[in-house]
Each structure stands twice: as C-alpha cells, then as structure tokens.
Amino acid sequence: MDFTTARRLNQLLTSVYGDILRVEELALRKSQFKDISIKEVHAIDAISMYEHKTTSQVARELRITPGTLTTMVNHLVRKDYVMRLRSDDDRRFVRLGLTRRGRLIYRAHESFHRHMVESFAGDMNDEQLHFIEKALLNLQAFLEFADPTAKK
C-alpha cells in the first residue's frame, strides 16, 4: 500500500471512530435518556439484558477497574437503570441486572447500532462484506497485539 492510501485510510478510521461516538452522544441527548453518559450506556450494554454478570465480568469486558465500574454502577442504580441482584445462597455474591428503564436504553442502543451497521453495509454483496469483515478482523488483531489487555 502506498503512503497516500495508508494516510487516507488512517484519516477515515480515526474520523469514523470519533463520528460514531459523537453521533451516539447526540442521539442520546435527543432521547428520553438525557441523564446518562455514553460511557454509562456502554456499561449497560456490557451488563446485558440476557444474563446477570458480576461486576468483575463487566469491568473486564469494558477494560476498566472494578472500582471504576462500582462507581459507575452506583450512579446507574441511583438513576434506576441497573439493579444489584444478591444471591439467596450467599448474600455477599452480587450480580448486575437491568431495570425496566435499563432494558429500554439497552434496546435503543442496540437499535442505533443495528441501523448503523445496516447503513454501513448498504448495498454491498456478500463478497464485499467478507472483505470488510476481514479488514476489521485484521485491525482487531493489531489492536489486541498492541494492547495485551484487549478482549479476546
């Protein structure tokens, strides 16, 4: 790849990353969920609607410390997005779950990403999508190599 192409691709990747975060934040501000940050939405996404995870599991997925997540969860509990679920067998064992309001923002965030991916894929055929997927896997492999704490 020549220098000009590499530079243009780098600018596009960097720009798209920033644009995704900005547009996500803008969509959030225009919604009924004005009291929550995009980082908190990503924590809700990691907590998931479909399973009850421990704080350690969610912190590992988000690649933040358990203490940082605990602070975030405290805010999300106060805002009625997340609940702590204590085990009947051992009250010290806590899993995280989403409240009704948490499930609403989870679905809205999921919908945003689904629409974004559909728009990105546009009218590409399967072969073109395969090349895009391969390129993204290559990028992911580079990032995981550069950051050993990255999700595997």
Residue 85 has phi, psi (to 5 degrees) of -115, 115
CATH number of the CATH domain containing 113: 1.10.10.10
Tell me the residue range of the domain where 76 lies: 35-121
In a domain, 130, yes or no: no
What predicted TM-score, i.e. pTM, was given to this entire model?
A: 0.83
In a domain, 73, yes or no: yes
- Helix, strand or coil for residue 129? helix
The 10 Å Cβ neighbour count of residue 125 is 8
Mean pLDDT per 10-residue section of the chain, whose length is 152 residues: 91 94 90 91 94 92 92 97 86 88 95 94 95 94 82 56
CA-closest candidate to residue 80, choices 94, 97, 95, 99: 99
Task: Indicate the number of domains in the chain.
Answer: 1
pLDDT at 90: 73
46: left (phi over 0), alpha (psi -120 to 50) or beta: alpha
